[in-house]
A and B are shown apart, each in its own frame.
Chain A
Amino acid sequence: MASTVIGAGIVIEGEVESDEALVIHGTIRGKIDSKESVAVEQGSTVEADVSAREVTVGGNLTGNVTAEGRVVIATGARLIGDVKAARFTIQDGAQFKGHVDMDV
């Protein structure tokens, strides 16, 4: 089945919990908790603490990120917040401000 998609025009204020993948084009303020991947797409705005198996940031994300797998900040994306993940990638042209904890 299709995973959850939050469209570009949608604004969510509150708590989101998902067993499946989450793709965000719109705006979320609050808290995101997913057992699968979370993709913050280009043009989206997320002001939330994100906890997921895998997090990919292509848009604007403000909040702490916790992932069992990897966290990727793509080109043109911006992440402000602390990252706790096993693997962490910042692509060329991405902006990041925060603390990184990779369980070293």
Chain B
Amino acid sequence: MAAPISRGQTAASVLAEGLTLTGRVAGSGDLEVRGHLEGEVDLEGELTLAEGATVRANVSATRVVVRGALLGDVRAGDSIVLEASARVVGDLTSPRITIALGAQIRGNLDMSEAETTRIVPATRPAVVSRPVETRASAPAARPMAQKGPITPAKPVAVTRKPAPVVAVAPAPAAEEAPAAEEPKADAPRKEPPSPVVPAIKKGQKAQPKRKAHEAK
């Protein structure tokens, strides 16, 4: 077993079943863990956590294949593969992640490493337009608030009957254009939203609901 010196140094590293390692593993080359490892792994190469392996460590490698149990975050420059027998509690970060049927994981998956730089400029203009949408959609989502914009529409309807009818209908469907107009209409007349706020503050749902039904 302990024949020394003669063996080639290209041998891949294996931490066998009966092995317990506490500490930090670093360096280059492929590593297969079949035993128990606790600490940290930072590898330039493929890391395989075999079935039966119990690892409690934050793991970083070029490629990570999990078949055993892992408690800790995984970061791979190339890819992460969770085989069917994998049990993982931790976050996965890699441009490519594969999870086989049967594998169990609890944690966040981040595959955006390479794309974050592209996405960020793309989302920012979208985010600028979104607040307008959310302002319009947020009151629309609330049934109480929906009644708010409708009631100011009625006094407006006295002056322009066709216009408000059209404005109310597209409000949920096409949000952006009417949304820009609605807040202008809401701004001068804040009377309808004000009863909504104290109704919520009372905390008891039964009372505001009754008031709402009575208002109808």
Interface residues of A (CB under 8 A from B): 1-23, 25-27, 30, 35-43, 54, 56-58, 72, 74, 76
Minimum C-beta distance from B114 to chain A (A): 26
Q: Which of A6, A26, A36, A72 contacts B1 (CB 8 A)?
A: A36
Q: Does B13 make an interface contact (CB < 8 A)?
A: yes
Whole-angstrom distance between the alpha carbons of A30 and B50 in the complex? 25
How far is the CB of B2 from the nearest CB of chain A, in Å? 4
Query: B27: which of A11, A19, A40, A43 is its contact (CB, 8 Å)?
Result: A11
Contacts of B34 in A (CB 8 A): 1
Which residue of B10, B21, B26 has the most chain A CB atoms within 10 A of its CB atom? B21
Q: Are A25 and B11 in contact (CB under 8 A)?
A: yes
Q: Which residues of B contact A (CB under 8 A)?
A: 1-5, 7, 9-31, 34-35, 39, 43-45
Given the interface pairs A37-B1, A39-B2, the reply to whether A27 lies near B27 with Cβ below 8 Å is: yes
Q: Decide if B4 touches A56 in the complex (CB within 8 Å).
A: yes
Residues in chain A near residue B28, CB distance under 8 A: 9-10
B9 touches A11 (CB 8 A): no
Interface on chain A toward B: helix, strand, loop, or mixed SS? strand
| Known contacts A16-B21, A21-B2; A3 and B16 CB within 8 A of each other | yes
A1 — which chain B residues lie within 8 A by C-beta? 16-17, 34
Bound-complex Cα distance A8 to B28 (A):
8
A18-B20 contact given A5-B14, A7-B13, A37-B2, CB 8 Å threshold: yes
Could you tell me the distance in whole angstroms from the C-beta of A5 to the nearest C-beta in chain B? 5
A30 and B23: CB pair below 8 A?
A: yes
Closest to A69 in B: B2
| B95 smallest CB distance to A (angstroms) | 24
Other-chain contact of A9, B3, B14, B18, B45 (Cβ < 8 Å): B45
7 residue pairs, one from A and one from B, having the closest CB atoms: A14-B23, A19-B18, A37-B2, A7-B13, A9-B28, A9-B29, A58-B4
Among B7, B13, B22, B45, contact of A41 (Cβ-Cβ < 8 Å):
B7
Cβ contact within 8 Å between B4 and A4: no
Contact B27 A42 (CB under 8 A): no
Return B61 CB to nearest CB of chain A, in Å: 12
Question: Which of the residues B5, B12, B16, B25 comes within 8 Å of A12, measured between beta carbons?
Answer: B25
Cβ contact within 8 Å between A16 and B18: no
A33: nearest chain-B partner, CB-CB = B20
Return the chain B residue nearest A57 by Cβ. Answer: B4
